[in-house]
Amino acid sequence: MAHLLHIDSSIQGERSVSRQLTARAAAAWRAAHPGGTVTYRDLGDEPLPHLDRAGGLARMLPADQHTPAEQASWALTERLVAEVARADTILLGLPLYNYSVPSSVKAWVDHLIAPGLAYDPETGQGLLGGREFIVLASRGGGYGSDTPRAGWDHAETWLPHGVAMTGLEPRVITAELTFAALKPAMAELLPLAEASRAAAERAIDGLWAPVSAAA
């Protein structure tokens, strides 16, 4: 039975564009997999603990040497990796915060980088590859090569490197210029924002659409 892991990370609630995009994608996935099941994790409402000393040592010491705090951190990591391992498809909502990923997403990735669970410490081979990883990104401005802030988006460029050890390979669908509808100074960019949002929605709608047979 197909299984979806749906993860949101925005702190903006219903106003969040990334949440709206992941909801659209989750609905499309359910329509294409009527018998499928879904696990939902909200990093915005229930952020994971960042790795502290106990979390770091839990990855370096044998399990039989763990303190209670290290055991607790490792147990959480096991649950998070198991969620990914169970999924055929992962949806991650990824807003751009201060030109990078939300800290909750960084914490999620840090927990995934677990020897013996997400990668083989002997060979370095990722153990979570072979599953679909769709990232629905949103950003308030524009960061293309022809813009004043080209290269300032460190979220979309970082994520593939951040999860590389696990074998996960994200496919990113982005809606940009989302602040155009909110900030008068960006009003002239509204048509570009609307076009970007429409393109992202078309890409989402085509993710699991049946392929028509050739005539």
Give the DSSP per-residue string, 37-90: EEEEEETTTSPPPPP-HHHHHHTTS-GGG--HHHHHHHHHHHHHHHHHHH-SEE
pTM score: 0.94
Q: Residue 211 has what pLDDT?
A: 58
Q: Residue 210 has what pLDDT?
A: 79
What are the CA-CA distances from residue 46 to residues 32, 49, 64 (Å)?
29, 9, 29
Boundaries of every domain in the chain: 3-205
Question: Which CATH superfamily is 3-205 part of?
Answer: Flavodoxin domain (3.40.50.360)
Q: Residue 145 has what pLDDT?
A: 87
pLDDT in tens, the chain (215 residues): 999 999 999 999 999 999 999 999 999 999 999 999 999 999 999 999 999 999 999 999 999 999 999 999 999 999 999 999 999 999 999 999 999 999 999 999 999 999 999 999 999 999 999 999 999 999 999 998 889 899 999 999 999 999 999 999 999 999 999 999 889 999 999 999 999 999 999 999 999 987 544 44
